[in-house]
Amino acid sequence: MNLSTKIYELRKAKGMSQEKLAELVGVSRQSISKWESGETIPELERLVELSRIFEVTTDYLLKPGEMDELTIRTEKLEKRQNDLQSEVRKEHSKNIRILSTGFIYAIALAIFFYLQLPFPYLWPLGTGMTVRLIVLAVVLLIATAIAIQNNLWITKKYWKQSEEEETGGKSDEEK
């Protein structure tokens, strides 16, 4: 694969238009078109900039190779796999938060109904509607606080796992 084909393939792999690449490199769209058609070749400074944008070495751009297309496809597949794993983790985290919140409110309502049982020693003031509403409000307020705290903990755990996967599993102390 020659330089012009590599520039074209890498640009397509990154999902960029010629205009966007031209803007990033600091040249006109026509220059990108000429590079991709093989009419001209980029200057050395532009090659370095292209290698930075495409996250490849200048050697990769300049040297012909048989595995170039395979490398590009592999990179696309790895990126897609990482995106899918991230989506699965987000969905899993969301499901856990929903289930745990429902469980917390179910326990809160069970406690509320338990407190409504006729225990004279538990309710010396009586069990009027006002007292019941106050108890319900307090129980739901406590359940909401617990649910928020639980959801924050789950979210923090999710972000920590995401960061560890992005850094290759190294903690802050190992870096």
Residue 174 has pLDDT above 50, yes or no: no
Bigger pLDDT: 119 vs 35: 35
In the CATH hierarchy, which top-level class contains the domain 3-65? mainly alpha
- Asked if residue 163 has pLDDT above 80, the reply is no
Mean pLDDT of 121-132: 65
Name the DSSP letter for residue 36. H
**How far apart are the C-alpha atoms of 16 and 127, rounded to whole Å?**
69
- pLDDT of res. 28: 92
Q: Give me the residue spans of the domains in the chain.
A: 3-65, 83-166
Mean pLDDT of 134-161: 87
Distance, in Å, from the CA atom of 144 to the CA atom of 60, rounded to the nearest integer, reads 56
Q: Which residue has the higher pLDDT, 68 or 8?
A: 8
- The mean per-residue pLDDT over the stretch 42-60 comes to 88
Helix axes 68-115, 3-13, angle to 10 degrees: 10
Q: Is pLDDT of 175 > 90?
A: no
